[in-house]
Structure 1
Amino acid sequence: MADPVAAKSGFLCMYMSNHPDTLVSYVTYFGKVQGHVTTAKMESIDTKGMTLSYQTKAGPSSKKTVVVSFDPPLLGYEEVKPRLLAMKADADEQLGTVKAPQITSFRLPTAVLQTLIPFGFFIYTMISPEDDPSPVWTLGRFLRSAVGGDKTMYGICAFIGITHSLEALYGAYLSRKHRMPFSVTVAYLSAILMVGFPVTLDLRRRIQQARIDSIMKGQ
């Protein structure tokens, strides 16, 4: 099957020639080229990556090429623009040419509902008393016995606590990097400690979209 991105490589290379600073950022950050890159050009692109030529301060004789791979590979032509924008945002931020976008509000993703339901069952199972014959706790006692008893339940608790704590530390890093107000920081850290991954993933998506929006405004 023909590569859908390679089929439009010529057009994409011509289009990217209007964004030389972006290509320089790709070469410097993703190509891991040392020294001052003065110019860069996209020679070809396909679903697996792009080949870029570049020159440094040494002059025309310094012209070289570097291959920047896409991780993961592109699934189709429609993914080219968002991937290149995301890569430019990452490169510029890491190289210090732009500030990290500020996050000024808290958002609780709807995906937390998918986590809260099983978490609620876990809490119910954890607190189900062994010596209470009430049918309210029958399912809880059965579930606790099915997973291996109290020892397993405590192990699960410890795993959740450690995982969410590590995610909260990462959230604190993102909070500082993206200059969140104190109230927003508290809200995110509290949500991450309680819910974990869905909140962290949504925050990362918000940050990435803010980076892309910043680039689009600058174009």
Structure 2
Amino acid sequence: MTADPVAEKSGFLCMYMSNHPDTLVSYVRYWGKVTEHVVSAKMTAIDTKGMNLTYQTKGGATKEVRVAFDPPLSGYEEVKPRLMSMKADAEEELGMVPAPQITSFRFNPRMLHTAVLLAALIYTTYAPSPDSPYYSPFYAPANTLRTIIPSWMLTFSWSLVVVLHGLESFYTLYLCKKHRTGFIVGAQYWLATLALGFPVFTDMRRQVQDARIESIMKGK
């Protein structure tokens, strides 16, 4: 059986994290979902699947909670970035630090993938038929495709785009408000999500996470 690379370094990691008591308390409260008044916490073990934490309540009771990693760590090199990411999420959600502000729209090449698929859908749907005065050989592939696919497929595809992108745009608005983008940047993210969907807000979340990590590193 293959040894757990993180569990092998558990003693060292627990000793290192003992220098960050506030972070351990935030893990217990947020990731451990402990609602009691936690006054102190200690990491007692860690492996690729999660970490064990003991904590003391205001009443003096000592308890233990297991925090699972989702997804599990693939190796020891993932420990630091994962713990830092979890620290940022926990402290922000608990109100210990303000949410990072996003002040610019960031284009990600992955948005082009969705743009190409959307352009193909528009081309196939609206290409003039051979009996149209606007027809040209350029539209022949679209007309051929329309004769091959079921008649309901284009309608279903457009319905899926409208519903999913619409719902995703509401989530983007929530992120824009939370991270104080301002009207112009917020409008850019919202309109981009309406058109291109999840690649936009997933990259925005990645930008937020980068800002969180940068803030933590500056505070070291």
How does the TM-score come out when normalised to structure 1? Answer: 0.95
Q: Distance in 2 between matches of 1:179 and 1:164?
A: 22
Identity of aligned residues (%): 56
Aligned ranges for residues 187-206 of structure 1 at < 5 Å? 187-206=188-207
Please point out which of 136, 145, 149 is paired with 2:138. Answer: 136
1:179 maps to 180
Give 3-state SS (helix, strand or coil) of 2:66's partner. strand
**CA positional deviation for 1:203:** 0.4
Alignment match, 1:35 = 36
> SS at 1:171's partner residue?
helix
SS in 1 for 2:55: strand
Deviation, 1:34, is 2.1
**Unpaired segments of 5 or more residues in structure 2?**
none
Matches for 1:117-132 after TM superposition, within 5 Å: 117-130=116-129, 131-132=131-132
Match of 1:146 in 2: 148
Unaligned runs of 5+ in 1: none
CA drift at 1:168: 0.8
Distance in 1 (CA, whole Å) between partners of 2:105 and 2:22 is 33
Are 1:159 and 2:160 an aligned pair?
yes
* CA deviation map 1:101-150 (0-9, x unaligned): 0000111111112222222211110112233463222100122222212x
> 1:93 Cα shift?
1.2
| Residues 1:80 and 2:73 aligned together | no
CA drift of 1:152 comes to 2.0
Q: CA deviation at 1:213?
A: 1.4
Q: Distance in 1 between matches of 2:148 and 2:21?
A: 61
Partner of 2:70: 71
| Pairing 1:92–2:94 present | no
SS of equivalent to 1:66 = strand
Name the CA distance, whole Å, in 2 between partners of 1:145 and 1:201. Answer: 36
One-letter amino acid of the structure 2 residue matched with residue 137 of structure 1: Y
Structure 1 stretch 104-113 or stretch 126-135: which is displaced more?
A: 126-135
1:142 is aligned with what amino acid? T
1:11 equivalent in structure 2: 12
Letter in 2 for 1:35: E
SS at match of 1:51: strand
TM-score, length-normalised on structure 2?
0.94
RMSD (CA atoms):
1.2
**Which amino acid letter does the alignment assign opposite residue 145 of structure 1?**
T
The residue type equivalent to 2:143 in the other structure is R
Deviation at 1:188, TM superposition (A): 0.7
Q: Which amino acid aligns with 1:136?
A: F
